[in-house]
Structure 1
């Protein structure tokens, strides 16, 4: 059965892209075809081919399908700031309906495993009227939460899951990503999270000097197909 998941994080630096690429590699190693999208990306660089975002390029390299960059990242923003502010400064306007449409285009490619990566955390604004979380709501897809293992992550993880449930979506798993190599009481925090979060832990990714998708995939499992 084909599956699409939306990947969100507890914060901007939780490691969504590292884990997303690891999940895509895990799917490929499991014999699945893969596709991905990061519909909005800020912090892009000017290149001869136009604006390019390093996270979106990483997703493009990690998937098995040959998708053009513009389909993976249709809304590219140069400043490395909150997307809604970057869009205001650039005179752009995009709705959740438009972003969901871009995502459906990728989903229609028919990959076994399609991953859509969000921007920042769950409650990132798209505009004064819409949140980015409206996109997975319109797509009605399950959600994977990446928990950046830092001080305060328990509060962020619990609140994010509560918001996902409140929005009527199904979280299918979470990943503990050791963003800080020297986090105090890592094991105790991990144990607490496993007790508090009512969804499966899909992996505990250590701090890796070379977080290649294949190395990250060694520490991950895919969510159950629903």
Structure 2
């Protein structure tokens, strides 16, 4: 008889697109929830694109950032259980390396890494619906993990449309949108206040998912610097909702 895995406790972090600061926000959330007394395990579910460090070890930069943000003694392989060398879509990177993305193995690795703490922050890759294998994408991954979703909205041209389409996709999968974080992806983005007001009206008010913070363009986007722009009351409320 196959054992039913214990439900995870935490959030699935997705974004409106790639290169919009999803990992920086996840690292900031790691520090922010740490400050609230939680033992946080940040996990980059899949990562494509590695660089060779001074120690000769190949590692994805996002994985390295999340590893530096955590304080639970996680290894790089626990933070990034599936990494590919080529910086492209994961299913393409896997094919180029002659490797398979095994659904069961990836889910088991994520659950194993999450067990190092009491609050998992599982980051997706790219946007919400990135292909992984035939018939399985990152939206399916979020469903398999059963975690409420946090949406990182990259503030740049088109962000309102991208955010609202992603919200619709999240809700269509039967997932709960726990909240969202605005991150200034384009330092020259005009009308930021107007964009935020439109997003709040259509996400906070219409969907009931509050904004957890607005991260401006930072010269040093360290986990601590990002955490300073996240709102503890909303984070505490999100933690309480997990217990309900």
With structure 1 as the length reference, what TM-score do the two structures score? Answer: 0.94
Give yes or no for the alignment of 1:116 onto 2:126: no
CA distance in 2 between counterparts of 1:22 and 1:92 reads: 32
Partner of 2:142: 136
Partner of 2:218: 208
Unaligned runs of 5+ in 1: none
CA distance in 2 between counterparts of 1:10 and 1:80 reads: 19
Q: The residue matched to 1:180 in structure 2 has which SS?
A: coil
Alignment root-mean-square deviation, CA: 1.5
8 Å contact from structure 1 (residues 51, 77) kept in 2:
no
8 Å contact from structure 1 (residues 205, 216) kept in 2:
yes
Give yes or no for the alignment of 1:92 onto 2:79: no
Partner of 1:67: 74
Partner of 1:5: 11
Offset at 1:212? Answer: 1.1
Partner of 2:4: none
Moved over 3 A (4+): 46-50
Further displaced range: 99-108 or 78-87: 99-108
Offset at 1:49? Answer: 5.4
Q: What are the within-5 Å matches in structure 2 for residues 142-221 of structure 1?
A: 142-197=148-203, 198=207, 199-221=209-231
CA distance in 2 between counterparts of 1:125 and 1:195 reads: 31
Q: The residue matched to 1:126 in structure 2 has which SS?
A: strand
Offset at 1:187? Answer: 1.0
